[in-house]
Amino acid sequence: MDTEVIENTQQHRFELPIADELFAAAYYRIESGKIVLIHTEVPSEFSGQGIATRLAQGTFELLRKTGRKAILKCPFMSRFFAKQPEYVDVVDG
């Protein structure tokens, strides 16, 4: 599982492929040109394996690389950011 997070703009989500057709996803909406992260989802059979953390890291790195800002409405993304202040340049508000 050494894959990278990709953005699925049609589905408004960032995806981390896990196995076969399964993936973890960080869903978003766009408001005033910013990415509003609203929900993070990992298939239950993969819970507790650090996948959501890898998804969050990849999402924040992709946002940084593309020069975009995120507003955190997702409780998981908010907790992740609280422990990873090095992403302060990516988070807006």
What is the structure's pLDDT at 51? 96
Per-residue burial over 38-66, b if 16 or more Cβ lie within 10 Å, else e, is: bebebeeebeeeebbbbbbbbbbebbeee
Q: What percent of the chain has pLDDT over 90?
A: 90
CA-CA distance, 7 to 4, in Å (whole number)?
10
pLDDT digit string, tens, across residues 20-60: 889 999 999 999 989 999 999 999 999 999 999 999 999 99
Say which residue, 3 or 50, is predicted with more confidence.
50
CATH number (3.40.50.10810, 3.30.2450.30, 3.40.50.2300, 3.40.630.30) of 6-87 reads 3.40.630.30
User: Distance between the two ends of the chain, CA-based, in angstroms?
Assistant: 32
Orientation of helix 51-65 relative to helix 75-83, angle to 10°: 80
The pLDDT mean for the chain works out to 94
